[in-house]
């Protein structure tokens, strides 16, 4: 087991990539401190982990609210001990060209996607620094590298995660804390399944998405979870400040 005796704080565990990471990490021996605003599905993930013999503490937590994060970090550390793995998964998106976007829409995406990563790190790092052990993984996106019309706020939040990762890695490398990020391509999560279902021609949209990935299929949440596991565990102990792109080859081509 690659995460035996580790305590991992994972956000966005109710569904999609966060759910896959929480379940895989629990199977690998970690106790999971789980945060999500979706109480029903967040509880279901925790119950699945516990039914499999794993340990999980879930609280309905909005990762953009400082007091809620601080409370969950404290409860998690009290229940399982020092948190030594942090995976910041939560990210949201909506679509609007920049010239039609309200300031409130811009600020909401930046707060949930980027400020939340500052807040979880802010409250979890002191424990990692005291024990001189920790691995932090931020989930970014290929949209931090490539331009997709309609997503200026989302792209800005995801691009900033690369800089945050490099800066944090440099600051804490000598203290035993590593910081990396992952840039996924298009992954078949509930969010994207809903987009397909709402489209006038789901089959054509799906085929278009598949064509953007040279490997010829969409990603599955587990494809990203295995990357997060590598970055969280000691097998990646000489890696920090980097972005692991897991995208079916999408960013290898100038033509999408
Ligand atoms: N799915 C993709 O194709 C894709 C591609 C690249 C990057 N990503 C990134 O991966 C991450 C996960 O994406 P996903 O597709 O699994 O998303 P998802 O929408 O399927 O799941 C996101 C989870 O976050 C939770 N959440 C939303 N706002 C929250 C908040 N304020 N506080 C706590 N929980 C909150 C939701 O309830 C949900 O459970 C995101 O950061 C996303 O930007 C996804």
Regarding the beta carbon of 168 and ligand 1, being less than 6 Å apart is answered: no
Which of the listed residues 67, 110, 151, 191 should we mutate to test ligand 1's pocket, taking the one with most ligand atoms within 8 A of CB?
A: 191
pTM above 0.95, yes or no: yes
- Residue-wise pLDDT for 32-58, tens only, equals 999 999 999 999 999 999 999 999 999
CA atoms 94, 122, 60, 1: torsion sign: positive
Catalytic residue among 154, 172, 226, 230: 154
- Residue-wise pLDDT for 181-219, tens only, equals 999 999 999 989 988 999 999 999 999 999 999 999 999
pLDDT > 70 fraction of the chain, expressed in percent and rounded: 99
**pLDDT number for residue 253:** 85
**pLDDT number for residue 81:** 98
In CATH, what number does 7-184+221-246 get? Answer: 3.40.50.720
Residues of the chain with CATH 3.40.50.720: 7-184+221-246
Q: How confident is the model at residue 254 (pLDDT cuts 50, 70, 90)?
A: confident
> If you measure from the C-alpha of residue 116 to the centroid of ligand 1, how many angstroms do you get, rounded to a whole number?
12
Note if 154 is an active site residue.
yes
pLDDT at residue 256 greater than cutoff 70: no
């Amino acid at each position: 087991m690659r995460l035996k005796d580790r305590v991992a704080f994972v956000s966005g565990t109710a569904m999609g990539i966060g759910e896959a990471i929480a379940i895989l990490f629990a199977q690998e021996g970690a106790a999971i401190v789980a945060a999500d605003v979706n109480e029903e599905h967040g509880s279901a993930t925790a119950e699945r982990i516990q039914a499999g013999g794993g340990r999980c503490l879930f609280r309905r937590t909005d990762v953009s609210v400082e007091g809620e994060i601080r409370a969950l970090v404290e409860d998690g550390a009290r229940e399982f001990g020092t948190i030594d793995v942090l995976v910041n998964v939560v990210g949201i998106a909506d679509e609007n060209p920049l010239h039609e976007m309200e300031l409130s829409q811009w600020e909401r995406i930046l707060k949930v996607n980027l400020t939340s990563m500052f807040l979880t790190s802010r409250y979890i790092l002191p424990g990692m620094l005291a024990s001189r052990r920790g691995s932090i993984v931020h989930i970014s996106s290929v949209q931090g590298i490539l331009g997709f019309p309609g997503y200026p706020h989302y792209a800005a939040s995801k691009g900033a995660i690369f800089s945050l990762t490099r800066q944090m890695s440099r600051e804490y490398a000598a203290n035993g804390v590593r910081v990396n990020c992952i840039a996924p391509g298009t992954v078949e999560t509930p969010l994207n399944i809903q987009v397909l279902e709402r489209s006038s021609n789901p089959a054509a949209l799906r085929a278009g998405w598949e064509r953007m990935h040279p490997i010829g299929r969409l990603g599955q949440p587990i494809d990203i979870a295995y990357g997060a596991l590598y970055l969280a565990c000691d097998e990646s102990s000489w890696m920090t400040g980097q972005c692991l792109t897991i995208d079916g080859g999408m960013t290898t081509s100038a033509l999408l």
